[in-house]
Each structure stands twice: as C-alpha cells, then as structure tokens.
Amino acid sequence: MLIKLKRVVQATVTAFVALLLLTSPALATPANPDSIALNTAKVFQNIFTDGDRLFVGEFNIDYISPGNPEPDEDATDAFLLQLRSADGTTLIRATGVTDYQWNLTSIYFTPAQVTSANITWETSYKVRVTGNPALFGTLTEGTNMATKTLSPTDWNTDGTLTSSELLRLYCIDVAARMEDDSGVTLLATTASGVSVLNPTGTILFLAAIPSLSSALPGLFQVSSSTTNLPAVPVVATYEEATTIGGKLGTSIENSFKGIGEWLIGVDNPRATGMAAGLWIMLLMLTVMSIVFLNSGSTTGAIILAIPIAAMGAYVGAIPLTLLLTVGLLAVAYTGYFIWLRGT
C-alpha cells in the first residue's frame, strides 16, 4: 500500500513539473552588441572621504544595426562592470552598467572596504565590461565582453592636482566623447570659461557616480533666475466691513453711539467704538471673574476670555488690528517663555 502511494505521489509531482516546463516561457538570450569596448578605466582616491577608492569604467556597448536593437532587459541587468584580480580569475566586485551605448559606471570602495578587499594601489587589476553570465550563454572577449588591465597611469594620485580635480577633468573629457558619439549636448560653459555638466549631463553622471555633486560641486552647472512679483496693494476691506452696524444692525449701533456720547458728553464719531469696547471688556472681565472664583485658576480665566475677545472683534467691538497685534505679542512671548527663557 505504501509503495503504491509513493508511486502516485511521484507521478503527481512529475506531471506538475512537466506542466510548469510546458507553460513557462523560456528566457531568451539577449543579442550580442554590434561592438563592445572598455574605452578607459581609471582609479581615484580620497573622493568622498580620506582613504576611499573610486573605480570608473568608460565603455561603449553599441547596438546600432537596424536589425539589432537594444535588448528588452535593462542595461543594469544585462551587462556588468567588473573589477577582477590581476590574473583575472577572482571577481572582486561587480555592478550593473548604467545604460547601453557610450556611457560610464563606477565601483566605489569605502576605506573599510579597501582594507577588507585588500585593494592595493597601482596593482594591475583587470576591469571588465561583460554580459551578465545569467543571461548570455557564452561570453567572448570582443563580442560581449571587453577587458582592460589597469596601468600605473590609470591610478590618479593626490599631487600637484588632487585626485578630485583629476576626476573632474576626466568627467569633462568623458562627457565630450559622449557628446561626439551621441550628438546630445552634455556640457555647458560658465561665464569664466570653465566647462561644466549641463542638466542632461548631470543626470547621466549622477546615475554613474552617485552623490558626485557633493564631492565635486564645481563639475555641475549652477543656474539662477530672478522672479518678479507684482506689488499687491494692502487694503482693509474686511476690517472696514466689520462694524457694529454691519454685524448687529443699525438699532444696536445707535444704542452704542448714544451711550458713548453720553459718557464723553459730546457728539464724537468714535463714541460708538468706545461704548462697544467698554461693553466687550466688561463681558470679558465678567467671564474671567466667574471662572477665577470657581476654579482659582488665573490661566484658565485668561484662556476662556480669548473667545470673548475674538467675538468682540467679529462684531466690530474691538478693532481687528488691535486683536492681531495683541495675538502676535502673545505668540512672541510664548516662544520666549518656552525656548529662550531657560537659555
């Protein structure tokens, strides 16, 4: 019985695997480029921090024939930039290239990684641009792979010109060669006659060497512009419309006017505002007194009087400019009390 059950399970698994093989599409091998070259390979030191190493490879993975378009795969998946040992047998580090055609890609080592990978200055390492072994069945030098052995002149040491300055000059040279190859403008000239990367070149080089702008800000174009903002006239439309008469009606406005004139003894245009202000102040003091007598909290009494003041401003009893000025002073004092008083 157990033997029969085992055979049934094996048959089921076999049939399932066969079904997967029949229904799963086969991964097509990308076409080889029309030509492939590693034009230059350079090493720079102390770019982002003292003791680091930056390997840069300038390559051309050329798909130019009408019948041989670029593969469907992203370039970063289809091709790699590799750093190998001097004899070429040991892979030290690899990264996907940034794009097809004429471009560049970098491999970066922090000081700690320089030590752990035993990166030795002026060693004849091999730098290689190659098809991804997972996609290309056969890798052949000159067909889908190009290798360059680093010479002593490829190692850019700090000297009269720093390695950072040599990297800047190298990037300008590479951008000029890429311009010639593609016809796309990557460089601009500053007012002082210095070549820099324009916005298009900036995108390409930051993709190849991430954070390069922080290390070499002078490599990139800086633009500025002046924005002209039209003058906006300051009007007090809302405040002018916020009056006792407009909010509470003519009858109440006349009442406040009469009270005000009675208090000051003469007919005065400010009588209405004076009487309304006294009324809202009396209301605020009443609310504050009730709260204080029942709670004993001065802070609570002041806080609960704030809505009364806002209401007074809304009906025109308190000028909005006065309320906003007092509010600004209160905010400033609060900031002083919280952040500055203890320093």
What is the number of alpha carbons within 13 Å of residue 112 lying toward its C-beta?
A: 0
Q: In whole angstroms, what is the distance from residue 195 CA to residue 43 CA? A: 22
Residue 164: Cβ within 10 Å count: 19
3-state secondary structure of 149: strand
Instruction: Give the start-end residues of each E strand in 77-165.
Output: 79-84, 91-96, 101-109, 126-131, 145-149, 155-156
Question: Which pLDDT score is estimated for 2?
Answer: 38
Q: How far is CA 98 from CA 206, 210, 235, 266, in A?
A: 10, 11, 57, 86
Question: Which pLDDT score is estimated for 341?
Answer: 65
Q: In whole angstroms, what is the distance from residue 137 CA to residue 129 CA? A: 16
Q: Are 276 and 247 in contact (CB under 8 A)?
A: no
Q: Which of 328, 18, 243 is nearest to 10 (CA)?
A: 18
Q: pLDDT tens for residues 201-222?
A: 999 999 999 999 999 999 998 7
pTM recorded for the entire structure: 0.61
Concatenating the DSSP letter of every residue in 203-241 gives HHHHHHSTTHHHH-GGGB--------PPP-----HHHHH
Q: What angle do CA 202, 95, 184 make, to 5 degrees?
A: 30
Q: Can you list the residues of the chain whose pLDDT is less than 50?
A: 1-9, 11-26
Q: Mention every residue, 6+ apart, whose C-beta is less than 8 A from residue 42.
A: 55, 56, 154, 155, 156, 167, 170
Question: Which pLDDT score is estimated for 286?
Answer: 86
